[in-house]
Structure 1
Amino acid sequence: MADYHLEASWRPIEGSFGRLTFTLFNLSAEPLSGFSLAYTSETRVADKYICDGASLMRQVANFHEFQPPEGLRIATGGHWRFTVEGLADEPKHRTDGIRSAHLRLADGRHLAIGFGDLMLEGRDGGVAPPLLPPGRIEEPYALLPWPLSLGLKAGNLPVVLYPVERTRPDAIKALSLVLALYQRLYPADGVPFSLAAVKGGRAIRFVTESSIAAFAYELRFSAHEVVLSSADAAGRQYGLISLAQMLHGARADRERFQFPNFGTIADQPRHAWRGCHLDVSGRFYPVADVMRLIDILAWNKLNIFHWHLTDDEAWRLEITAYPQLTETHGTPIPAFGDGPEAPAVRYSQHDVRRIVAHAASLHVEVVPEIDIPGHSAAALSALPDLTDRQEPPDSYRSPQGYANNALNPAVEFTYEFLGKVFDEMVALFPGEYVHIGGDEVAQGAWLSSPACKALMKQEKLAGTAELQSYFLKRIKTVLSERGRKLAGWNEVSHGGGVDRDGTLLMAWEKPELGLELAKEGYDVVMTPGQAYYLDMAQAEAWAEPGASWAGFTPPERAYAYEAEAELPEALKGKMRGIQACIWSGNIASRAQFNRLVFPRLSAIAEAAWTPLTRKDWDRFAAIVRMWPVL
């Protein structure tokens, strides 16, 4: 137990974003004096504020450091209270409060502090509704995503499924990989497959059928065997996962679910890009957690893992040419959830190779992201040569409150640096895309930089957006020279954008942007915050964890959202698919991760795979309860 504990509450006040009250309790055996209090929080103090009982020493984006009145001494068992009025936004949920906290003592030591949720004063926060209905099934088979077509008759539950004699080694290897996946996801349950024949089991016969579409599969059931037909290894894996799912459901809930004895399943994905993004900059996830998430993606037949490796808070990818990127936190503040003395945490290149190989074995492609030119406070802090030293400090601020956090398009070292970064990335990530971010560059960025003023005059550029377009066009060339295509967020299109050929953009700010990007000629992945951001709260109630800028998204809304509905028939060829996004600023624990991500991730997976006419919310709700979490 920590010797110090910090409580925070928020009181709404008409005409403002309300007042925060902080109370620090001294639970130690010694009086406390000569200290400052630091914390990170999504609820930031605004430029104009009133503080009673403390003074704000330092603020960097979500990081705040307060100093008590001179001479303050907190006795054992005592407390210190102060208030702040003048906030940058209004908190909506209990997770909008403290995310990490510590004391800094006069001798330079840091002491960890316990803390709780943000309390709501003066009004009822409401009650969160159930996230799932009881569910209802008409076909007794546990399959997610639901297949394109099926006509089945249930029968006896086999002990296990095993390959017929003289099955090809590659098919046995595929069976063993899905068996291992199941054992990782359900370690306490009986296995669905055996590599050897078992009495009372049922044989699987593998057939390669060139007439079947890519990534598709067919299953034909009889009393004696199951025939799995596919044209490729990915389709074979999806068929095996479907078999494992049905056997798992029939064992786990025998009153609702059964296993087929006769009939067929014909199945194929609706969209080619079925993705999930994970932000590891705002909060670091150990390698084991990343690999388990990839397992869960494979179980849900998702095929893209978009790995957000850098941001303002930290640069997480080891780059041997610039070890200083990951030797410290980068920015002079801790990321969400990190303590002040937490070691700099990164993914070594050995870690990356393990993760990429693990994903590839499950037919999941890893798309790495380094977020540039904005969201680069960590890189700029680690490598001061990336800055225009004549640019005034704090000449612009990002939406998150970071000052001067964008790589400068007029500093030639920027392109040398990124060229070396991409050299190492293409050796680690064999996929065709590198995601370069391109989002949330602050209005007015670079306009006070003498170097950028000269560049604008030379290249006849006007404003921040055209400077960004100039920068990203050069980056696209750098990537093309290394055999990679550019992916980015929707703001890549600003200021003229980049060459549409080989460019993939993700529409995140609002659904309508997907249509606009497609009209401009870009290939599009739909990932609107209003439906597919899994850090958004799932209900309006204060007690629900999550962010609020895009409203709240219950699982049924994520399930029902139809990305293709935004596009006319003539433009549907520009839509590559859909993607869930997991941003980590509002995720304080594994329990909160699981509550926010599941079952919405599976809901989006079904939207990515299953045709609209085959979707059924009640059927989905009945099945998804059995699905794995992190």
Structure 2
Amino acid sequence: MQPASYRLESTWQPDGGPNGSFSFTLFNLSDEALSGFSLVYTSLTRVIDPKACGNATFLRRDANFHEFAPPAGVTVGVGQSWTFTVSGLHRPARHCTDGAKSAYLTLASGKHVSVAVSDLLLEGRVSEPPPVLLPEGKLDLPFALQPWPAEINAKPGEGFPVVLYPAVGCSFEEQRAVSTAISHFRRLFESAHVPFSLSSSVQGRSLRFVSNAAIAKEGYLLAFSSDEISLSYSNAAGRQYGLTSLAQLLHGARSSPGKFRFPNAGTISDGPRYGWRGCHLDVSRQFYPVADVTRLIDIIAWLKLNIFHWHLSDDEAWRLEIRAYPALTTAGVLRGPDEPILPQLGNGAEPVGGFYSQDDVKAIVAHARSLSVEVIPEIDIPGHNAATLVAVPELTDGQEAPESYHSVQGYANNALNPAVPFTYQFLENVFDEMVELFPSAYIHIGGDEVADGSWLASPLAKKLMEEEGISGTFALQSYFLKRIKEMLTARGRKLAGWNEVAHGGGVGATDTLLMAWENPKVGIELAREGYDVVMTPGQAYYLDMVQAEAFQEPGASWAGTVPPAHTYGYEAEGDFPEELKDRMRGVQACIWSEHFLSRGYFNRLVFPRLPAIAEAAWTPKAAKDWQRFAAIVPLSPSL
């Protein structure tokens, strides 16, 4: 890799403006003087007062894209620098990832040149060592199980079997389940000793399968003796979870024999606390290759989660191939200086794209199904559609005033218009293709963060509201979502969405599942309205949140500081009245990708909090133990 020709360094200071100010310095490390240029950087800390900058001219902003020019006549010589300040910020910077995420120069010739970006510094502060997020932990029972089982009455043995192998007489399906478990383990732990074999071994222990309809769905029973293990189950998922527990036990005993043991007597009787045990991934802000998606699904299955919520569209890109509208995955994914969508959230001079073909989707769905994971696709509507509207401009009301409203992320006029007839034809065609790709019971339609004031400058929307006798953004959103639910019902699918789906009158509660993300109380309110609810509050289960208050900690902070101990200890049922608890379907982790510019950031923020949520989803409250969890979770695989 060539050394950087230009570097942008920045500092945030708490004074200089209502929300503090940035000081940026561009260093010219090239062999030529620099003049007649502009500088672009992307940042989640946006400029809202374009005049509040010093030694620079603000040129334009589009959400997180910012462009500035130096004063006329400025030349930055070889080895010299240019410094400017920005104080008209929409919020203070609280963490190192609140600064510039990427940058580039547009030269006088029109050429775009990458600029290296340094970490954001806080004026007057020294970078402290990262905090210790996990204690060493303590084990009452020396077993490497995650999540911890519902009931365990097993005794540790001395040593461990080399492998576990199917006993004589097991069925073809049981043999195939062991083979699947072998492949699953090998993908997660490429250099570790695989715990299973299809062939018998004198150094191993036989595994007898027992189909037992009396065992609850997804549950299993393991019984250990010195010469045999029996695995009882009632369905394929329970059999898989039993095999996964055996793999965890043997892997722990082999990799850390001084800490973990393998049982030689007793039982493990297990089953999940909740039916919905989810993990969400936002692939719009950052694109994840198919290999990364399938590895995350492998990790989800290892943790006995059963839902992969795939967030496939947002303002920044539409990632799902829809053959009826090829522009969605050409114009709707390309971000770059001269592309239909400007750089956002880490993009620079080089264009970036990426989408999932329908063949990719089929392979990922099949992979997940083989591990008892259901893929729930999400296309986010009506808000969060800046990329969609760039790709399919026929979806706009051509008479609507531009920039008549902005989303909370700073996007102008980014919501599909309920009064444009083509909106419904477009979505009918999209859903027709989605139901062929995704056999899931639910399709998630988003429904979140539509800006109050959306569509009110649209003549078509005004006319529709008059005809329907409704007023305001959220009543119009409710009208729109009711039509969407009818589309899904006609296709044999149920509607899932974020908690704002209930705004403005919402949609019918029957066969509707809503995710409470804004705060824990929202879930109780939705349950009172008759909705089934999945709890995924940002204050505990959003894995992009910072884990400590120190400035150098990466991540978002709008929901506060979320250390692993808080995520683990949080009880999603909270203050749910007893009569409403049956409305709570389960819990879900959410991986929003604005801050995940590297695998290092991903793993630092997602783990160990994803395993913590998995334990909250599976393990009974009375059986949870933070010290035990901390002792076991370092064995978890990461991306």
Aligned equivalents of 2:37 and 2:143: distance in 1? 61
Match of 2:533 in 1: 524
Match of 1:589 in 2: 598
1:543 lines up with 2:545 in the alignment:
no
1:562 lines up with 2:571 in the alignment:
yes
Q: Which amino acid aligns with 2:138?
A: R
Match of 1:415 in 2: 424
Q: Which moved more, 1:125-134 or 1:432-441?
A: 125-134
Q: Deviation per CA, 1:323-357, whole angstroms, max 9, x where unpaired?
A: 11111336521232233432421111111111111
1:346 lines up with 2:355 in the alignment:
yes
Alignment of 1:409-448 (within 5 A): 409-448=418-457
Contact 2:534–2:587 under 8 Å retained in 1: yes
Aligned equivalents of 1:515 and 1:340: distance in 2? 46
Return the offset for 1:14.
Answer: 7.4
Match of 2:344 in 1: 335
Match of 1:100 in 2: 102
Contact 2:42–2:347 under 8 Å retained in 1: no
Aligned equivalents of 2:323 and 2:530: distance in 1? 37
Aligned equivalents of 2:102 and 2:488: distance in 1? 37
Return the offset for 1:198.
Answer: 1.1
Return the offset for 1:126.
Answer: 5.6
Q: Deviation per CA, 1:383-427, whole angstroms, max 9, x where unpaired?
A: 111111111001011001111110000000000001111111111
1:486 lines up with 2:495 in the alignment:
yes
- Aligned match for 1:204, one of 179, 203, 207: 207
Match of 1:169 in 2: 172
Contact 2:312–2:379 under 8 Å retained in 1: yes
Contact 2:253–2:262 under 8 Å retained in 1: yes
Contact 1:223–1:261 under 8 Å retained in 2: yes
Q: Deviation per CA, 1:84-135, whole angstroms, max 9, x where unpaired?
A: 1110011111011111211122333211111121111024566542110010
Aligned equivalents of 1:382 and 1:107: distance in 2? 28
Alignment of 1:200-599 (within 5 A): 200-328=203-331, 329=333, 332-599=341-608
Aligned equivalents of 2:296 and 2:448: distance in 1? 25
Match of 1:75 in 2: 77
Contact 1:128–1:540 under 8 Å retained in 2: no
Contact 1:514–1:566 under 8 Å retained in 2: no
- Three-state SS of the structure 2 residue aligned to 1:152 is strand
- Aligned match for 1:118, one of 107, 117, 120: 120
Aligned equivalents of 2:537 and 2:517: distance in 1? 4
Match of 2:337 in 1: none
Contact 1:281–1:335 under 8 Å retained in 2: no
Contact 1:374–1:405 under 8 Å retained in 2: yes
Aligned equivalents of 1:552 and 1:505: distance in 2? 25
The alignment's TM-score, normalised by the length of structure 1, stands at: 0.98
Q: Which amino acid aligns with 1:574?
A: R
1:602 lines up with 2:604 in the alignment:
no
Return the offset for 1:166.
Answer: 2.5
Aligned equivalents of 1:173 and 1:432: distance in 2? 26
Match of 1:189 in 2: 192
Unmatched runs of 5 consecutive residues or more in structure 1: none
- Three-state SS of the structure 1 residue aligned to 2:574 is helix
The alignment's TM-score, normalised by the length of structure 2, stands at: 0.97
Aligned equivalents of 1:125 and 1:541: distance in 2? 8
Match of 1:66 in 2: 68
Q: Which amino acid aligns with 1:626?
A: L
Return the offset for 1:146.
Answer: 0.3
Aligned equivalents of 1:614 and 1:168: distance in 2? 34
Match of 1:2 in 2: 4
Q: Which amino acid aligns with 2:146?
A: L
Aligned equivalents of 1:562 and 1:232: distance in 2? 28
- Three-state SS of the structure 2 residue aligned to 1:593 is helix
Aligned equivalents of 1:127 and 1:201: distance in 2? 46
Aligned equivalents of 1:405 and 1:340: distance in 2? 24
Return the offset for 1:523.
Answer: 0.4
Return the offset for 1:240.
Answer: 0.2
Contact 1:503–1:523 under 8 Å retained in 2: yes
Q: Deviation per CA, 1:456-505, whole angstroms, max 9, x where unpaired?
A: 11000110010000000000011111111110000000000001111000
Alignment root-mean-square deviation, CA: 1.2
Return the offset for 1:2.
Answer: 2.3
Match of 1:626 in 2: 635
Aligned equivalents of 2:606 and 2:299: distance in 1? 11
Q: Which amino acid aligns with 2:398?
A: R
Return the offset for 1:55.
Answer: 1.0
Aligned equivalents of 1:439 and 1:268: distance in 2? 33
Q: Deviation per CA, 1:11-70, whole angstroms, max 9, x where unpaired?
A: 111761111011111111122222211111111111354111111111011110111222
Contact 2:50–2:58 under 8 Å retained in 1: no
- Three-state SS of the structure 2 residue aligned to 1:138 is coil
Q: Which amino acid aligns with 1:367?
A: I
Contact 2:16–2:87 under 8 Å retained in 1: no
Match of 1:12 in 2: 14
Contact 2:51–2:58 under 8 Å retained in 1: no
- Three-state SS of the structure 2 residue aligned to 1:278 is strand
Q: Which amino acid aligns with 2:616?
A: A
Contact 2:44–2:345 under 8 Å retained in 1: no
Contact 1:202–1:226 under 8 Å retained in 2: yes
Q: Which amino acid aligns with 1:198?
A: S
Aligned-residue sequence identity (percent) comes to 61
Return the offset for 1:167.
Answer: 1.5
Aligned equivalents of 1:235 and 1:525: distance in 2? 22
- Three-state SS of the structure 2 residue aligned to 1:566 is coil
Contact 2:170–2:208 under 8 Å retained in 1: yes
Q: Which amino acid aligns with 1:211?
A: A
Contact 1:58–1:66 under 8 Å retained in 2: yes
Q: Deviation per CA, 1:245-298, whole angstroms, max 9, x where unpaired?
A: 000110111111100001100000000000000111011111111110000000
